[in-house]
Amino acid sequence: MNDISKHLSNADFEAALKGLNELNISNCKYENFQKESDELFASFMLCHGSSNDTQNKIALKSLNLLKRSCALGETFQNEIIGKKNFLSGLKTILEDEAIPENVRINCLQLLANLCVQNRLNQEAILCELKDFLLKSIESNCCFTNAATMIVYNAFIYKAELGMEVDELLEVLLTNVESNRLAQRETPEFVSIFVEYLACESNEIVDHYEKVSFEKRILFLRYLIEYVRQDDRRSRPLHPDLFKHLLNDFKRKSDCVLKTVDSYLDQKNTEEVFTLLLLMSDATCVHPYESFIRADGALFLNLGCLLRQLQTLGKTDRDNIFAPVQSIGEILKVKQGTSELNIEQDISYSLKSALVKALANLSYRNKKNQNLAREMDIMAAILDCANLDARNPLIKEWSILAIRNLCEDNLENQKFVASLTKVGDAENSLITEYTAEGGTIRIRDGSTASQ
């Protein structure tokens, strides 16, 4: 190292770089490390701001040697971070956009290595750089992954973060949403951190209601996508979190059961509908379905919601819950030319999700089968067995639900058998059906009277 310092003093940067490349920091003894790390840090500080290519390489090589030395243990980490002006110097560099980006990224990576399994260093780094780290996570920049790694390590080792877990979740979700909108992959450590909060830690449960409404919706949408992924089933959501959300749905869904049109745009309603999508998907995914299927109150709640939405849809044909069955309108929806903008309504797929959940919860569950008959839920499901542009696959889910409700249940079979035809069900999808010359002619209801 003495030769390297001499080369730098003489501005012989090629020789200094050669010396650094030959240095094997992995075999360094701790008694020699203080001096070597001092000189490495001094070399970095001397060269980091230069536009000269060789000096830039010296700065990066010095940082890389310091990063590698972190693997030698906590005492080596502490030696580095304890240097005079070390953290304040790196903070100045990180915040200076005139410094080459690759140098700043490597500075942050060094800080990340310094805080691995080292709570004191985690707290020191957060104390000095918390605002920069959080801004880097939110802004989805080149520093995001390393910044998230630092905060993540601090969180799992219970370091003092200087912020609540709900604030932390909001920062992470800002990044997740910006990447979703830009159709980019979420940075690795952002995904790891959010997944940890959802699956390994139950700390979010006590702070969930403190999360802003917008971020709660984002979190629920993240969980919906997570539950739907087959490769995530080996790492399910934390039981405490899932049970909290299940109870939250049952509690807040009361607002929908008391719905009037003017209330449908309220935040609680949107949150209930989003929770419903999560619960509906969870009814057929292990391990969630095991305790959902035993929750009779949930089944009754879902059934009452379906009945209520059916009633709302029938009272006003312009209601967002009214089925859209005109073949012309269905085609427009599929082609993206419909003026109804159905897919943007909060009611889109809602009844499909309800019927799907009821179908899954009825499977070989005598208690729920009987509840469906006794509470007129079966009748509501039968009423859904038609095409509806607002609710993709609702007809198919309705058929499956009736099948599951009737399996090994004589009372339900008798109920279906006792139904008496009083006429054709109202269906604007087909108003004329004739077979002529081996062809089938279908005419839209809008032209039926012509």
**Whether residue 435 has pLDDT greater than 70:** no
CA distances for 284 relative to 46, 281, 365, 389, angstroms: 61, 6, 14, 24
pLDDT for residue 142 is more than 50: yes
Phi-psi region of 435 (alpha: psi -120 to 50; beta: other; left: phi over 0): beta
pLDDT tens string 208-249: 999 999 999 999 999 999 999 988 888 999 999 999 999 999
| pLDDT above 80 for 331 | no
Question: Distance between CA 189 and CA 126 in Å, rounded?
Answer: 17
Q: Is the sign of the CA dihedral 305, 310, 313, 315 positive or negative?
A: negative
- Both tokens of 318, joined, read 């312009």
Whose CA is closest to 416, among 430, 429, 404, 428? 404
- The CA distance from 166 to 207, in Å, is 6
Q: What is the mean pLDDT of residues 356-365?
A: 95
Instruction: Out of 304-313, 340-349, 389-398, give the one with best mean pLDDT.
Output: 389-398
Whether residue 356 is predicted with pLDDT greater than 90 in this model: the reply is yes
Q: Fill in the amino acid letter for 234.
A: S
Question: According to the model, what pLDDT value does residue 82 have?
Answer: 94
The 10 Å Cβ neighbour count of residue 428 is 18
pLDDT of residue 323: 84
Tens of pLDDT along 251-304?
888 766 665 544 454 677 889 999 999 999 999 888 898 878 888 889 999 999
CB 65 within 8 A of CB 25: yes
* Weakest-pLDDT range from 63-77, 294-308, 329-343: 329-343
pTM exceeds 0.85, yes or no: no
For residue range 144-191, what is the model confidence (pLDDT) as tens digits? Answer: 999 999 999 999 999 999 899 999 999 999 999 999 999 999 999 999
Residue 113: pLDDT over 90: yes
Distance CA 81, CA 93 (A): 15
Residues whose CB falls within 8 Å of the CB of residue 96, separated by 6 or more in sequence, listed in order: 104
State yes or no: pLDDT of 441 exceeds 60.
no
